[in-house]
Amino acid sequence: MKSIEGLCSLESKVAIVTGAGRGVGQGIAAVLARVGADVVIAEIDEELAKDTQRLVEEQGRKALVVPTDVMDEESVEKMLQAALEAFKHVDVLVNNVGGVARPRMISISDMSLEEWDYTLRFNLTSQFLCSRALIRYWQGAGRPGNIVNISSLAAMVPYKTSVAYGAAKAGVINMTQTLGGMYGQSGIRVNCIAPGHVKTPITDALYKGREDVRAAQDRIIPLGRYGTPEEFGKVAAFLASDASSYVIGQTLLVGGGMHYFLTELP
């Protein structure tokens, strides 16, 4: 059986991963490097990106850190130009940036318009801006391309922590389907990952002192545990590579089977 490196080779490819400084983005960047890609680390916190840069370079691949605000149109364009200046071409975009602004229960009655707008800009508009920039580049250059969007299981089930987050992530799935259908004939594939719970330093800190809540969540996941950033990276490598060459506009639920039993996220 072929290894992940052989089956999902990205040798000679260049991948942009947004928000790659930690968590899922870092895991994706590390795995893409492992299967042969040079990686552009588009991260708003340049200091945070250094650890990811080290992980990529340890795989023998080149890493470029580009401070990027994916909610800012000009910053996104500068990020793409920096990538092209360094590597001459870009083949893959992973739209990873996203999250809940305030990880606590908030009803729509208590949500301000500013928080609603920010959550949509952070999770959906950011992916629109990056996707638009890369699609324009690929079409202008007559090159194929590959976009992997990151949505969430919250797009498909009630998410009481933030109605805005669930709505934005549902928008990511719809955008994936639409762009996949529109640009497939141009050789541009667009697909999506909808993660369930992920073990990261942020989630570990969130549940510190609340081990009973964490254990209860583990029990409703058929695999009995949170996923790791590397596991999501492997799925991203599959979608970004020729191993999925006939897959367009799809969203893969990667949650250890959690969606089978979940009606709402605590």
Average pLDDT over residues 52-72: 98
Q: What residues have CB less than 8 Å from 107, skipping those under 6 apart?
A: none
Structure confidence at residue 266 (pLDDT): 41
How many CB atoms are located within 10 Å of the residue 166 CB?
23
pLDDT tens digit string along 119-156? 999 999 999 999 999 999 999 999 999 999 999 988 98
Catalytic, out of 137, 159, 165, 183: 165
Phi, psi (5° rounding) for residue 50? -65, -35
d(Cα 72, Cα 94) in Å, to the nearest integer? 17
260 against 16, higher pLDDT: 16
Which tokens go with 176?
């994936």
Bridging pattern class, strands 38-43 and 63-67: parallel
Percent of the chain with pLDDT over 90: 70
Which residue ranges form the domains of the chain, and what is each CATH number? Answer: 9-199+230-253 (3.40.50.720)
Joined together, the tokens standing for residue 194 give 């909808």
- Residues 77-111: pLDDT tens digits? 999 999 999 999 999 999 999 988 665 667 888 88
On the 0-12 / 13-18 / 19+ scale of CB atoms within 10 A, 193 is buried
Token couple for 95: 């739209």
Active site residue 260: no
* Mean pLDDT computed over 19-37: 97
User: pTM of the prediction?
Assistant: 0.90
* pLDDT tens digits, one per residue of 200-242: 666 655 666 666 666 666 667 766 667 798 999 999 999 999 9
Cα 193–chain centre separation: 7
Beta carbons of 86 and 39 less than 8 angstroms apart: no
The sheet with strand 145-150 has its strands ordered as 63-67, 38-43, 14-18, 92-95, 145-150, 188-195, 251-254
